Structure 1
Amino acid sequence: MKQKLFKCLPVAVAALLLGGTAQAQEKMSAEANQLSTWSIGVNAGVLSPISPLGGKNDFSNWKSSLGYGLYIKKQFTPYFSLRLDGVRGKLKGDNSEAWDGGGTNASPVSAFETDLSYSGSLNAVVNLFNIDMFNKNSAVQLYASAGAGLAGYKVKTAAGSGALTDYAGGKTISELIIPVGVGAKFKVAEKVNLDLGWTINYVDGDNLDGYYRGSNDKYNYAYAGLEFSLGKGKQLAWHNPVALTYDEALQAKQTANALKSDLDAQKAENARLRTEMNDLLKDSDGDGVADKLDKCPGTPAGVVVDGSGCPLKVPAPVEKIIITEADRKVVADAIKNLEFDLGKATIRQKSYATLNRVAELLIQKNFSLKLAGHTDNTGSAALNMRLSKDRAESVKAYLVSQGANASRIEATGYGMNQPIASNKTAAGRQQNRRVEFTLF
């Protein structure tokens, strides 16, 4: 039996660890991530060498002794945690009383005293439920636990009315234990809980009391203690997901009602805006301009209007101007034969004939003409700029005197800024002293 239990111990511990890991990997809400998950506890109570859940008792009179313990606990979810427990104390019993069914115990051992040097176990703790399902952080909860561990103890026994003597040579005996328990917790402060519990420990052996009867021994520990939460935040063990879900449902309903109110208000606003838009876009005469912007209401159908709703004045089509090679030759001859008095803007008489033909061309074909006066670099820039402008204006004045439209002639002077030949030679300077004619 002992070997079977030892073989099962690694499997049980591994199952507890895997279960805890799986629970730890569950996705928690943002609020749960801020909760405290570690705690420590201290307790004290009564140790007794019996079990009320079946099995045989080796002695007719069991005695209660002081026990004390501590634990450290990791809470993975509001309902599941792993707890590492340690307990110490003494176990006592004798045969000074008759059995419940009558008779006396024929055991050669009349009394025993066991010093529980250490008892350590890893337990899975399940919170059965939180009392108040509508409170996110309850104040009372019930739990159950089960696990596996190891106990070390020294036994003393007595025969008849003799004194207690060491059993097994006074050696410490180590045995596998299986603790199973229930309990209740009460929150007395935000970080402190009152812990009431009862654990039955099944021993993988029959020498806890120094008397072998062919069945495994057991002992129980009823205790009261305090549990202290570590870290920041509220305790995860008291966190009630049912209540949280309930609160979230209420909040979702309130949010939905608020959104519905906002939607209704938006619908009303849209209806108002639609009415205003219809009024704004109303076009009684159908000319494409809204009444509020139409400065000429009642425009007949089919009339093209401008942006203010008034009939659009269509400009007369612009006659396309075609400049022929003959026209360009008339202008070229005028440029070639154009001469001025030296250093002046006075046109010499020999240039009149070709200028007259340019004036006739402007009158007949309604051309426009640009006159650009230029000089060489002889003299100052200011003098040359004025001279070039005066010469261009002199040509314009002559053409206007011959009947050309003054509004179609533009005269500009550029001085010596746009030479077409080198000013270092007389021939070059002669070419730079010019008035250019451009028809358009």
Structure 2
Amino acid sequence: MRIGRTLPPAAAPIHFRDLLSGIAGIIRGQRETERFRDELRDYFGVPHCYLVSSGQAALTLILLALKEVAPQRDEVLIPAFTCYSVPASIVASGLKVRLCDIDPQTCDFNFEQLQTLLEGKRLLGIVPTHLFGLPADVARLKKITEGRGVFLVEDAAQAMGSEWEGEKLGTLGDVGFFSLGRGKALSTVEGGVILTRCDKLGRRLDQAFARIEEYSVLQTLTLFIYALALTVLMRPWLFWLPKNLPFLRLGETVYETDFPLRKLTGLQAGLARNWRHKLKGFQKTRCARVSEWHSFFLPFSFLVRLPASTPLLRFPMILPTADSARMILASGARRGLGIAPSYPSAVHHIPELASGFVGQEFPAAAEVVRRLITIPVHGYVGRNDRKKIFSLFSQVKDGPQ
């Protein structure tokens, strides 16, 4: 167990002034959430915006609404390498998970394989994912799916505020969503945002949103205590403490289909006050870190079609071998450098889902799980941390992929 300075893998710091804004938000109640919603609608240029309790809740609400729009369709296609909450939301919505392998150089869909998966009338939606903030090629997906009656649900959970070719991520598909959870581009401790320009879908989302519950007083109080704890314990000199408490499950990826669908509170909207200014500051810091990592780690990185200044949430790299990835992860953990693995398995190997994919293989997704690691890019990464990370990677002797 490490005791001492430890970097979190990702962080969007909450400060004490944010907590005060959160308390004010509790007092303002619905006025505060409406303010936040209206600011988001204006910034992203969409007529419909919904604020919920998590990114997972956002995706679930979207899928429930889409089921009502096209009840004859019941399948959702996702990358075989993605966050566990994506397939969990599909299952929680009463829909079926379909998988497409990925391009290991981008973590986007393998478009050659994807072309073969579009036949039939049961496909309800496709979920392109901006994993770690790496922009998925939504424009290409639009061309491929045009006229097929398939909805594009843009997973921008890890990419709030980012743009690609002049367009804001989260607004490129039929509907998009962000996560406001701990360690995302902007954090309200927990939370999610849904955006759409589609009036037909907006009407269904209005109905679905009206049906979900609100946080109780006790749940709101618990959320505030959690926000206070994060304000203190996410700092590197204290992060070792929650990291070493197993019941907090920090860093764990868990497949859960039983999760709450709630409306965002005034507390969370208050924590987000001045969000555009905060988001811009976080992005500036992340861009600087990404540029530095890009120049040093270019032989390993996925940044094939991205400028070096992309504000990634974490900097992903694919190492030469699974052994070299394990060595870097173990050494980084001993030094508290915030170097983290990817998800524990590809989607078809998640125990709760594996029986549905017997005989199906997604080799690129499985290999990326073994060799992908991420480097932190947030504002807590100091000069000495960067020196230690550079030194650590100089030990990788196998050469780049």
User: What is the TM-score with the length of structure 2 in the denominator?
Assistant: 0.16
* RCO higher in structure (CA 8 A, sep ≥6): 2
Structure whose CA Rg is larger: 1
Higher helix share: 2
TM-score by length of 1: 0.15
Q: Normalized per residue, which structure has more strand?
A: 1
